[in-house]
Amino acid sequence: MRAILQRVNYASVSVGGELVSQIGPGLLILIGIGPDDTEEKAMSMAKKIAAMRIFHDENGKMNLSVVDIDGEALAVSQFTLYADTRKGNRPSFIYSAPPEMAAPLVDRFAELLVAQGVPTKKGVFGADMQVALENDGPVTICLEM
């Protein structure tokens, strides 16, 4: 399981020109599922993200979590996080989990984030999404479980 976290002032997802989800301050999470990923990995990822101290405290130090700031999360499925670019110029996605496995695990990951105290919205699995955001910092973190 791979995730790219972006600390944002706001983020939104639209599909076909229609707004699907939006959040205020918090995290935009691009989440990729591999073929060996499990609910246990999703739980570890959710716990890690909820507790990660990447928001500024009153002294300007990254010392607060998304839970501490009462922030939100927007989880967007992104199979391209498993792109294999070692050969040629066209990425291969053979290391991404198949949609029938990945979709329920992305949903479960979002539920597990909510259980950790992070209000979480989602994109639309498999859709051609337009993601808008204002990156705060910028702060971008790569995670793998």
Active-site amino acid positions = 78-80
Which residue do the tokens 């949609």 mark? 99
End-to-end CA distance of the chain: 5
126 CB-near residues (< 8 Å, 6+ apart): 77, 99, 103
Give, in order, the Cα–Cα distances in Å from 51 to each of 82, 98, 118: 25, 29, 10
State how far the Cα of 63 lies from the Cα of 53, in Å rounded to an integer.
5
Q: List for the chain the helix, strand, coil content (%; round to 5).
A: 25, 40, 35
State how far the Cα of 84 lies from the Cα of 92, in Å rounded to an integer.
5
